Amino acid sequence: MFGAPQPVTASSTPLVPLPRRPLGPSGASGQVRRWYENELGWPTVPGDPLRLPVGMRYDVLDVPAEAGHAALRRLTSGSPVALHGGRMLLLVAAGSAEELPGLLEWLDWGALSLDLVAIGAGGLMEAPSPPVPHGERAVPPARGPHTAAPCEAGAPPAPRERVGSQGAAVWLRPPEPGCEVEASLPTLSALGGGGDAPDLVRLVNTVATQCHRVRLRRACAQPPAVRAQGR
């Protein structure tokens, strides 16, 4: 009455499921990216190594590590600071990079050559490895075999990471998930404001002073012939 049963063909019930979109990066690099995007709410840039766009939530002062250590007292405990080889990266309020030239002039540092670099809107910062909770294994950074290991939260990195010229960036003072980073960053508006934010003017003056001292110390350490050529 109903006729012969029809055969089932491959076209009516496909045996191979349709491809699905990937859920996102996997492995160590994916974990680091998710920590920045999901835990901190910081944007990242596609690619490897992982980089962070500057100028959106913060700017960066890039100084010699020796000069940066002397300026840490000008920061709050929650103000993020990173190390990259022999350099220290101080996170400051967004827009500070544009203010730096005028600020150095106002502080009478404009005529001197200082090893002080400000990274602002349109710039990029290599993403330091996330801090490792005590008792957990570190997430290896997606770089070469000689990359420095990340430090524990709140603990300074090993001495070789402080002064080494190679290796990945690491957090000296890591950002805190769930906290708005802007409230802890040095800002120009803090001058005389009486708020909790660190004062960008005092920070820049301290860093510039230390950069000048580092420059003089390095010049004095050179042989006399090299000093004469640099005059």
DSSP category for residue 222: S
What is the residue type of 193?
G
102 against 147, higher pLDDT: 102
Distance separating alpha carbons of residues 53 and 70, to the nearest angstrom: 27
Closest by CA position to 174, among listed 121, 138, 123, 210: 138
User: What distance lies between CA 161 and its chain's CA centroid?
Assistant: 15
**Above 60 in pLDDT, residue 72?**
yes
pLDDT on residue 142: 44
% of the chain residues with pLDDT over 90: 50
User: Residue 196: pLDDT band by 50, 70, 90 thresholds?
Assistant: low
**Above 80 in pLDDT, residue 71?**
yes
Distance separating alpha carbons of residues 120 and 90, to the nearest angstrom: 12
**Is the distance from CB of 75 to CB of 203 less than 8 angstroms?**
yes
**Is the distance from CB of 40 to CB of 177 less than 8 angstroms?**
yes
pLDDT on residue 228: 52
Distance separating alpha carbons of residues 170 and 159, to the nearest angstrom: 12
pLDDT on residue 168: 87
Closest by CA position to 204, among listed 186, 189, 218, 192: 186
**Above 90 in pLDDT, residue 5?**
no
Residue range 195-208: mean pLDDT, rounded: 87
Residue range 199-212: mean pLDDT, rounded: 94
pLDDT on residue 221: 76
Residue range 23-50: mean pLDDT, rounded: 85
pLDDT on residue 141: 45
pLDDT in tens, 142-195: 443 333 333 333 333 333 333 333 578 999 999 999 889 999 999 988 665 555
